[in-house]
Structure 1
Amino acid sequence: MEPKAHHLIIGLFTLIAVASALLFALWLAKSSADREWAYYEIEFDHAVSGLVKGNPVLYSGVEVGSVLELNLDHSNPGHVRVLVRVEEDVPVRKNTRAGMVLANITGSMSVQFSGGSKDSPILKGTRDNPAKIAAEPSAFNSLLTNGEALLTKAETLLISANQLLSEENTANLTALLRNAREASDSLLGSRDQLTAMLERIDDAGKRAAEAASKVSAVSDSANALLQTEGKSVLTNMNTAMASFQDTAARIDQLTRENEGALDSGLQGMGELAPALRELRNTLRNLNQFTRRLEQDPSGTLWGGPTMKEVSQ
């Protein structure tokens, strides 16, 4: 009797567990059926690979519904209409954006809503009359669309690289590197000569600097001499010239005033005329020397050309 009692207890427990599971499934189905939904039709103008019925619908990453149907737009086969249902209390607005996101590494895609400002009206749709939402292309879809163009560019780049690394270019590059190595070896072999030449250039530079310093010192000394003694010499010369000019003017005035008397009284003194001419020549030479001294003091005082007499 005891074995039969154990089997009866086990059977009764199994029946209770199955009944509980059925009741839970019925409650869950009733809860899902009692939930209120809003329906939206999203129009995609590109391929929706990876999106199938039953895939989740997300709003800012939170699951709020699922995909119900996918239909090709027969009037425009490049467009796909996707019917989704979303929990009715989710605020899908007129300016809410829809797109696709990658759900997992297998390539499965999910529909995702994003955006929507508070001042935009809320969209509500039924199963028979779903609200229309235009989809925007996703970054992943753009990457897939542009993949062919990227591959073409990559192929062109590889072709260009192969042309650049052709046998002729490789040989030229090898010859160029060989010549560069030979030039560097030659420079290394002449290292001592280059060092000696650089030392000579350095010595020449030092000597040039010393010579420039000496020239600068001489120039400074000459400038100082002209500023001190030269000024006094010029002042004295100007004073002497003024005195000579005054004397010459007086002699000339005296000669003009007494020209008649001198002509009558000096007829026997023929040697006085040459003396007067020499005096005038001396005055002219003195004037000429003064002008040169004013124009070029250093050249006149320290080795300028000698002053020539002016013939009358």
Structure 2
Amino acid sequence: METRAHHILIGLFAILMLAGALLFGWWLSEGGLHQKQAEYRIIFNEAVSGLTVGSNVKYNGITVGQVTELELDPRDPRRVLSRIAVDPSTPVKQNTHAQIQPTGLLSGTAHIRLSGGTPNSLALVSEPGTTPEIPARPSPFSQLREQSGDILANINQLVQRMESLLSRRNLENIDQTLDGMAELTRNLNNQQERISRTLETWNRTGQQAQTTLSEARGLITDTRAILEKDAPQALADTAEAARATRRAVTEVEALVNGNREALEKAMQGSASLGPTLEEMRRTLGALRDLSQRLESDAAGTLFNRDKLEEYQP
């Protein structure tokens, strides 16, 4: 009897444990977690590839909930309506936003990433009877996935251009160009000695030109010094000589004019004396003109600044 009573007690204990486990499981699934979870709605205007019911919801990398519903918007099939349940202690703010993120590069799954939310922002709440909505932002990975077709087309076009660039004909042209460059290099190497001699000759010529220029500069300096030192005295002497010549010419003209009557009578007696007197008169005129020029501008007259009219007897 005692053994049978022990078996009955063990059976009852097992039944009670099983019932308790079932009740606890029901409480967790229905009466516990769901009552404590905070629900939010998210509307995506893009494809939600990799996102399913039960996918994780992460806030700055920390799992805070799961996706509970996913469906197309009956009024606009381009939009996806989703509902999430997160821990009520999650600080969802009015400036918090949602975004789809891939879980792995090769897994093909995705999760919802919550981010944003500043300390000064108010908590996201809604009117009674409605579910608060978290605004969604476009996912860069979704955009990349949508644009992958264009990217692949561009890559294919680039490959075709590379194949065209590396065609047999272009490769032959490149080989010819390289051969020409090699030949040019060999010619330059062969002409290196001649080029060196030419450059050396140019260097010597430049040095000689520099020396000649220095000598010419010194000659000009010496000439300027001589002119500045001796030219004023020479010009003064020339002007004095011009004044003396002018006085002599004036005296001769006065002598001739004073004896004009006697000379005219003499000219009547000798026909050859007339041309001689005329030549003397022209000579005196030329001397007078020269003396006037020397007296007024001795430097210009001596250095041919004004070309003098030569006397032709």
Same fold, TM exceeding 0.5? yes
Residues 250-269 of structure 1 aligned to structure 2 (within 5 Å): 255=254, 262-268=259-265
Q: Structure 1 residues 234, 164: closer, same or farther in 2, change over 3 A?
A: farther
Aligned residues: 293
Superposition deviation, residue 51 in structure 1: 1.2
Q: Structure 1 residues 62, 274: closer, same or farther in 2, change over 3 A?
A: same
Q: Structure 1 residues 293, 73: closer, same or farther in 2, change over 3 A?
A: farther
Work out whether 1:131 is the aligned partner of 2:109: no
Which residue is 2:92 aligned to?
92
Superposition deviation, residue 121 in structure 1: 5.0
Q: Tell me the distance in 2 between the aligned counterparts of 1:281 and 1:147.
A: 107
RMSD over aligned CA atoms reads 4.1
Q: Tell me the distance in 2 between the aligned counterparts of 1:59 and 1:249.
A: 125
Q: Tell me the distance in 2 between the aligned counterparts of 1:192 and 1:34.
A: 97
C-alpha distance after superposition, 1:257-305 (max 9, x if no partner): x95x5433543566666444322212323445678863486x55xxx99
Which residue is 1:207 aligned to?
208
The amino acid across from 2:77 in the alignment is P
8 Å CA contact 2:239–2:294 kept in 1: the answer is no
TM-score, normalised to structure 1, is: 0.75
Q: Tell me the distance in 2 between the aligned counterparts of 1:141 and 1:283.
A: 112
Superposition deviation, residue 24 in structure 1: 7.7
Q: Tell me the distance in 2 between the aligned counterparts of 1:97 and 1:242.
A: 113
Identify which range, 201-210 or 264-273, moves more after superposition.
Answer: 264-273
Which residue is 2:270 aligned to?
none
8 Å CA contact 2:294–2:301 kept in 1: the answer is no
The amino acid across from 2:115 in the alignment is S
8 Å CA contact 2:240–2:295 kept in 1: the answer is no
Structure 1, unmatched stretches of 5+, are none
C-alpha distance after superposition, 1:60-106 (max 9, x if no partner): 33333221111112332222111112333434344332212233342
Superposition deviation, residue 142 in structure 1: 2.2
Q: Tell me the distance in 2 between the aligned counterparts of 1:71 and 1:306.
A: 114
- SS of residue paired to 2:172: helix
The amino acid across from 2:260 in the alignment is D
Superposition deviation, residue 177 in structure 1: 0.9
Which residue is 1:47 aligned to?
47
Superposition deviation, residue 224 in structure 1: 1.9
Give the one of 254, 277, 281 matched to 2:282: 277
- SS of residue paired to 2:236: helix
Q: Tell me the distance in 1 between the aligned counterparts of 2:80 and 2:167.
A: 49
Give the one of 281, 296, 299 matched to 1:294: 299
Identify which range, 262-271 or 21-30, moves more after superposition.
Answer: 21-30
Q: Tell me the distance in 1 between the aligned counterparts of 2:181 and 2:301.
A: 60
Q: Tell me the distance in 1 between the aligned counterparts of 2:130 and 2:155.
A: 47
Residues 32-181 of structure 1 aligned to structure 2 (within 5 Å): 32-37=33-38, 39-105=39-105, 106-117=107-118, 122-125=123-126, 129-181=130-182
The amino acid across from 2:48 in the alignment is V
Which residue is 1:198 aligned to?
199
